[in-house]
Amino acid sequence: WCDAVLLGRGPETPAVVIIEMKDWDTAGDRPGPRESLIEHRGSLVLHPSDQVRGYTEYCQLFHSAVLADRAAVAGCVYFTQSAELEPYRGGPHAALAAHYPLFSNKPADVEGGLVPFIASRLTTPDRDFAERFERGTYQQDRNLIRQVSTAIRKSTSPAFVLLDEQRRGFEECMRAIDRLLASADPTEKLAVIIEGPPGSGKSVIAAQLWAALADDTRIGGPIVVTTTTGCQRSNWEALFKSTGRAVAKGIVKGANKYNPGLYGARVKADRLSGDTITIASWRENLTHHAARGRRNRAPDNSFAVSIVDEAHALIDPTAPNAEGVSPSGWSMHAGPQAWHIIRASRVSIFLMDGEQSYRDNETTTPGRIADYAREQGVADVEVISLADQQFRCGGSTEYVRWMEDTLQLGPPDRPTGLAWRRTPGNPKGRFIFEVVDSPL
């Protein structure tokens, strides 16, 4: 996250000043082609002011103490060297740098810029607010969330439109959620598995589920889309940004965020103090972590709904052959990600392709998810199938099946044939592949 957060009270409300520090040599740097890109040491990188803008907007929109106290949030960049910052302040970056200013360690820049910037925003201490901020949790501003929901539901973009069996899958999932919300037991949980092959439209269902639930007044807690890879996270953020709202980063959560706080440094420290901590003992590790009175970074049921896309890629350290595979930012000693998602969510929706997997520790099966759900009190796991649905390759299930057979990727019990469709005009079932200069 950011390098420094200063807390106190401003002229009217509690206030937060976020500072991003850069130990950069800016000699030779030039303005970039866009507001958010700067040429640093010959390469295009994210402009530091845009970086601090992201932190500031996230804090404004999703920090419980900031929302409750209506705190003012500002941000700036401080270069720890005697940097030349004109390229960062001019050209396409002028408006960005004016809103999120940059300061070097030159005395004139510090005394005439950084100090007045902070002093004008933090006028007196506010210990109570600082403590509330430190204890703060992720929270959504539901008014803004509903604006995004409305934009998605009214969108005519193919990325948001449900077709055919996608509509059935969506309605079946909503039916299960309606039953849960009608329950008199507020601790009751629900787990739903939506299975389908690539191209069956799982991501469209995920987007529409999020939009419908975000607009549902019966649901009071955060509703998030959970991702399993950085690339997937970027795609989802871009999709939400396309609605014209600046809340994408808070709507999308990486699966690593469900770790209760059992990180590598703490595992190492506990081992040095004489504790035995192994991957196989992950349940005992969590009990030990809680017994030490440490803060849970992802408390039980802290999310109302988690919609997990590409759930087959969730990390499961207990999967066969998983030991020894690098953890991709997840503490293997904390146990399976799917288990924690169910623990931290009242409703967990897993969209997945049971035939896919990545590395040996990035292999979560429907059966494992069902086991983890039952362990945490979910009596019946809803399973919704999108089998044989295809919205890629021109919607041709026949072509996809032929390709699977050709590459020997189909189910082992399915009869295969390498010939393409046999017709009177093509009795041998030849498939013609040509590379042409133009489709005309």
Domain check: are 235 and 289 in the same one?
yes
265 sits in the region (left: phi over 0; alpha: psi -120 to 50; else beta) called alpha
Q: Which residues of the chain have pLDDT under 50?
A: none
Residue 306's nearest CA partner among 257, 271, 245, 354 is: 257
Range of the domain at 213: 142-385
Task: Output the pLDDT for position 93.
Answer: 97
Domain check: are 221 and 114 in the same one?
no
Q: Identify whether 391 is part of a domain.
A: no
Domain check: are 185 and 331 in the same one?
yes
Q: Identify whether 425 is part of a domain.
A: no
Q: How far apart are CA 76 and CA 117, in angstroms?
A: 9
Domain check: are 309 and 236 in the same one?
yes
Q: How far apart are CA 380 and CA 383, in angstroms?
A: 9
Domain check: are 304 and 343 in the same one?
yes
- What tokens does 267 get? 């595992």
Q: Identify whether 160 is part of a domain.
A: yes
Do 241 and 248 touch, CB atoms closer than 8 A?
A: yes
- Alpha carbon 299 to chain centroid distance? 17
Q: How far apart are CA 170 and CA 205, in angstroms?
A: 6
Q: How far apart are CA 316 and CA 334, in angstroms?
A: 10
Domain tally, the chain: 2
Q: Would you give the end-to-end CA distance of the chain in angstroms?
A: 52
pLDDT tens by residue, 332-354: 889 999 999 999 999 999 999 86
Q: How far apart are CA 432 and CA 175, in angstroms?
A: 46
Q: How far apart are CA 84 and CA 106, in angstroms?
A: 10
Q: Identify whether 191 is part of a domain.
A: yes
Domain check: are 249 and 155 in the same one?
yes
Task: Output the pLDDT for position 400.
Answer: 72
Task: Output the pLDDT for position 417.
Answer: 67
- Alpha carbon 16 to chain centroid distance? 25
Do 383 and 176 touch, CB atoms closer than 8 A?
A: no
Domain check: are 73 and 156 in the same one?
no
383 C-beta neighbours (distance < 10 Å), count? 15
| CATH code of the domain in which 292 resides | 3.40.50.300
